[in-house]
């Protein structure tokens, strides 16, 4: 029953996602544009915009002044005849390159010129008086402004199609800004020269946006982008399919992520990707189980450390490899395995890179059992994670942890009994107690890898495939001891108030419940935490340089 419900939910989410994507790509948006243009036209015809135009009339600009000549040059370069000629040439070129849908969209956008002329003739709105009355740009009726229509059509179409390229979000925003600036400069020039009133320019932008979105809808925006993505792809495909478990809150532009993934998947000849979105109450467990039930060959974890933990926990022991698309604040597993933090590079690696078998650590506490792949902690570490603001992480990223650490500058110490089993150097086997001792600490940190945020190594002998859990105990007695602890962490050696340990299985017991976290997510409080390494339980796609194993080593509890 749950499997059927999950399938239904996936289909429903897929339909909703397709509708959202179609709206983002312009389907139906032209209807809103047409309604807005019609409403504005009524206001212009009834004279309700006359006061606006009068209030925003500029002083007469001398045509022969330096600024006047620059503005007239801009006006000529953005003349509708030149803009539509360039669009027509692009339509011919794309047709010759067999990009028929794109050519159709560009050809349809040429209707903006006769449509603007027809509407302008019907409205018969006179141009304002101007010192540039002899300019080529002063021909015809004023409403809607022909320059504004043409430039809006060109900018809208080009900016929309630019999104087909798998650019970083910052570059996509830059192109959008360039399109807005081009339209704004065109309109500002027409207004400053007295060639158009403000109401004429607003009508031109509304009509241009309507024509552009309608043209893209006629051509089929999604099909156009897909055809662009197929250019240069291999003619054969492989019988492989990937699933992506993604946290939507980690992405500013989900449509851009989808295009990036689909383009790389197509380029590699893989089958279409299965998309599974996490939820606030499930960071990826159920979604990964659905991926396994679908028989995928690879699961991509696109999110923060919490998403990676959920995906890896479910994939452990399955034989299905995991690939990382780092998008969170820490990205600790990716950093330790040298996975690129750039999305495009990580995608290419995911579909073609080698895999490495790494350990996962199974944790059992008073309230349940779960795995982690990076780190877990009791005490101060858990308090810092709980006090870190998610909103602040979006602004200053790793700096948010520093703010939370300052808030916990005077931590409460607690007593912890540590039992280590399976100390190989002592000659005991797994499950045989090798050592047990009590410590007064402010933090007990467990690790499967060695490096944390900022590139700081706190487990100098840790390796993700050594079959051991690393333990760091920190218990400075005075504030001045923190300096020694910091020095010890930097040099990777034990000092007063700092000690490192390793074991295949370890047990931490406290007299009172202590807060703890797994891979940066606060879990709750517990009096007992048992951590056991599951050697080589998870396969992860890594760069070739990261497949080599590190040497084992470390200190052990006395």
Domain of 379, CATH number, reads 2.60.200.40
Percent of all residues in the chain with a pLDDT value above 70, rounded to a whole number? 73
Q: Is residue 517 part of a domain?
A: yes
Flag the least confident range among 12-26, 285-299, 327-341: 12-26
Identify the H or E element spanning 371: strand 368-372
**Could you list the residue range(s) of the whole structural domain that residue 337 is in?**
234-353
Query: Residue 544: inside a domain, yes or no?
Result: no
Q: What is the pLDDT of residues 143-173, one digit of tens each?
A: 999 999 999 998 887 776 665 554 555 666 7
Query: What is residue 404's predicted lDDT score, i.e. its pLDDT?
Result: 37
Domain count within the chain: 3
Rg of the chain over all Cα atoms, to the nearest angstrom: 31
Token pair of 519 as six digits: 């891979």
Distance (Å, whole) CA 110 – CA 81: 10
User: Is residue 53 domain-resident?
Assistant: yes
In a domain, residue 2? The reply is: no
Averaged pLDDT, 242-250: 91
Residue that is written with structure tokens 């007239």 in the block: 72
Q: Please check whether residue 439 is in contact with residue 419, taking contact to mean a CB–CB distance below 8 angstroms.
A: no
* Residue 309 confidence (pLDDT): 92
Residue 64 scores a pLDDT above 80 = no
Whether 239 and 220 map to the same domain: the answer is no
The most distant pair of C-alpha atoms in the chain lies apart, rounded to whole Å, by 98
pLDDT of residue 430: 39
Q: What is the pLDDT of residue 170?
A: 60
Residue where one domain finishes, among candidates 201, 228, 255: 228
| CATH at 313 | 3.40.50.10330
With contact defined as beta carbons under 8 Å apart, do 451 and 550 qualify?
A: no
Q: Pick 398 or 332 by higher pLDDT.
A: 332
Contacts of 122 (CB under 8 A, 6+ apart): none
Does residue 344 have a pLDDT over 70?
Answer: yes
Residues 427 and 341 occupy one common structural domain: no
Confidence of residue 243 (pLDDT cuts 50, 70, 90): very high
209 and 291 fall within a common domain: no
Determine the average pLDDT of the residues in 126-152: 81
Residues 328 and 477 in one domain: no
Reported as a pLDDT band with limits 50, 70 and 90, residue 66 is confident
| pLDDT band at residue 550 using 50, 70 and 90 as cut-offs | very low
Question: Residue 49 pLDDT more than 70?
Answer: yes
Q: Which residue has the higher pLDDT, 425 or 472?
A: 472
Domain membership flag for residue 555: no
pLDDT tops 60 at residue 226: no
Dihedral pair phi/psi, residue 120, rounded to 5°: -65, -40
Together in a domain, 262 and 114: no
Cα separation of 416 and 557, whole Å?
Answer: 13
Q: What is the mean pLDDT of the chain?
A: 78
More confident residue, 532 or 231: 532
Whether the CB-CB separation of 193 and 142 falls below 8 Å is answered with no
Of 24-28, 215-219, 399-403, highest mean pLDDT: 215-219
Whether the pLDDT of residue 59 is over 80: the answer is no
For the cut 60, the answer to whether the pLDDT of residue 111 exceeds it is yes
pLDDT reading at 109 higher than 70: yes
Asked whether 220 and 102 are in contact (CB, 8 A), the reply is no
State the distance between the two ends of the chain, measured CA to CA, in whole angstroms. 53
Residue 41 binned pLDDT confidence (cut-offs 50, 70, 90): very high
Per DSSP, the residues of 11-36 read HHHHHHHHHHHHHHTTTTHHHHHHHH
Residues 378-404 pLDDT 10s: 887 667 665 454 443 343 344 333 333
Identify the pLDDT of residue 396. 33
Out of 118-127, 143-152, 495-504, pick the least confident.
495-504
Q: What is the DSSP letter of 79?
A: -
Residue 542 lies in a domain: no
- Grade residue 466 by pLDDT with cuts at 50, 70 and 90: very high
Least confident of 186-195, 297-306, 404-413: 404-413
> In this structure, is residue 93 part of a structural domain?
yes
| pLDDT (0 to 100) of residue 203 | 92
Asked if residue 444 belongs to a domain, the reply is: yes
C-alpha dihedral (420, 425, 426, 432), degrees to nearest 10 = 40
376 and 485 share one domain: yes
Query: Higher confidence at residue 388 or residue 498?
Result: 498
> Could you say which DSSP state residue 129 is in?
P
Regarding whether 435 and 331 lie in a shared domain, the answer is no
Check whether residue 411 and residue 503 sit in a common domain.
yes
Reported as a single tens digit per residue, the pLDDT across 523-533 is: 888 999 999 99
Q: What is the pLDDT of residue 114?
A: 92
Query: Which of 104-118, 194-208, 420-434 is predicted with the least confidence, judged by mean pLDDT?
Result: 420-434
* pLDDT for 433: 43
Residues 221 and 240 in one domain: no
CA angle 326, 327, 333 (to 5 degrees): 35
CA dist., res. 503 & res. 508, Å (int): 12
Question: Is 301 in the same domain as 401?
Answer: no
Say what the pTM is. Answer: 0.58
The kind and range of the H/E element at 440 are: strand 433-441
Domain final position from 332, 353, 374: 353
Preceding omega of 166 cis (within 30 degrees of 0): no
Mean pLDDT of all residues in 358-367? 91
Q: Which of 330, 353, 376 delimits the end of a domain?
A: 353
User: Do 238 and 219 fall into the same domain?
Assistant: no
Q: Are 341 and 334 a contacting pair, CB within 8 Å?
A: yes
Residues 67 and 138 both lie in one domain: yes
User: Among 61-75, 104-118, 264-278, which stretch is predicted with the lowest mean pLDDT?
Assistant: 61-75
DSSP state of 451: B
């Amino acid at each position: 029953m749950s499997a059927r419900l999950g399938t239904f939910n996936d289909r429903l989410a897929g339909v909703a996602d397709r509708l959202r994507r179609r709206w983002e790509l312009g389907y139906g948006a032209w209807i809103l544009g047409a309604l807005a243009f019609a409403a504005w036209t009524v206001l212009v015809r009834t004279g309700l915009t006359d006061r606006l135009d009068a209030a925003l009339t500029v002083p007469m600009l001398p045509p022969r002044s330096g600024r006047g000549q620059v503005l007239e040059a801009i006006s000529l370069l953005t003349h509708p005849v030149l803009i539509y000629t360039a669009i027509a040439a692009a339509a011919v070129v794309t047709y010759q390159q067999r990009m028929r849908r794109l050519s159709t969209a560009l050809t349809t956008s040429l209707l903006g010129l006769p449509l603007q002329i027809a509407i302008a003739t019907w409205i018969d709105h006179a141009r304002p008086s101007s010192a540039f009355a002899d300019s080529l740009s002063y021909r015809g009726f004023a409403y809607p402004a022909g320059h504004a229509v043409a430039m809006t059509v060109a900018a809208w179409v080009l900016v929309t199609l630019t999104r087909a390229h798998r650019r970083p979000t910052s570059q996509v925003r830059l192109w959008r800004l360039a399109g807005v600036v081009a339209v704004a400069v065109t309109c500002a020039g027409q207004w400053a020269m007295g060639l158009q009133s403000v109401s004429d320019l607003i009508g031109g932008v509304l009509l241009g946006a309507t024509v552009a979105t309608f043209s893209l809808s006629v051509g089929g925006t999604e099909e156009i982008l897909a055809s662009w993505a197929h250019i240069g792809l291999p003619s054969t495909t492989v019988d492989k399919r990937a699933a992506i478990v993604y946290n939507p809150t980690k992405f500013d532009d989900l449509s851009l992520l989808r295009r990036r993934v689909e383009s790389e998947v197509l380029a590699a000849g893989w089958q279409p990707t299965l998309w599974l979105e996490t939820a606030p109450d499930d960071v990826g467990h159920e979604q990964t189980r659905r991926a396994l039930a679908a028989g995928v060959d690879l699961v991509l974890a696109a999110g923060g450390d919490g998403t990676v933990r959920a995906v890896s926990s479910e994939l452990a022991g399955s034989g299905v490899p995991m690939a990382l698309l780092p998008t969170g604040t820490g990205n600790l597993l990716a950093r330790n395995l040298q996975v690129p933090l750039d999305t495009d590079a990580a995608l290419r690696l995911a579909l073609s890179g080698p895999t490495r078998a790494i350990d996962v650590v199974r944790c059992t506490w008073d309230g349940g059992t779960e795995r982690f792949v990076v780190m877990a902690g009791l005490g101060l570490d858990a308090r810092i994670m709980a006090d870190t603001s998610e909103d602040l992480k979006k602004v200053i990223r790793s700096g948010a942890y520093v703010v939370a650490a300052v808030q916990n500058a005077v931590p409460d110490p607690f007593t912890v009994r540590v039992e280590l089993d399976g100390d190989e150097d002592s000659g005991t086997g797994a499950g045989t107690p090798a050592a047990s001792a009590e410590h007064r600490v402010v933090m007990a940190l467990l690790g499967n890898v060695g490096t944390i945020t900022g590139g700081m190594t706190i487990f100098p002998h840790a390796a993700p495939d050594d079959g051991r859990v690393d333990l760091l105990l920190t218990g400075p007695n005075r504030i001045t001891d923190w300096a020694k602890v910091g020095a010890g962490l930097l040099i990777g050696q034990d000092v007063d108030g700092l000690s490192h340990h390793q074991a295949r299985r370890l047990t931490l017991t406290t007299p009172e419940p202590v807060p703890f976290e797994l891979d940066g997510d606060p879990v709750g409080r517990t009096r007992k935490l048992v951590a056991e390494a599951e050697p080589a339980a998870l396969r992860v796609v890594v760069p070739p340089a990261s497949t080599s194993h590190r040497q084992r080593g470390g200190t052990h509890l006395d």
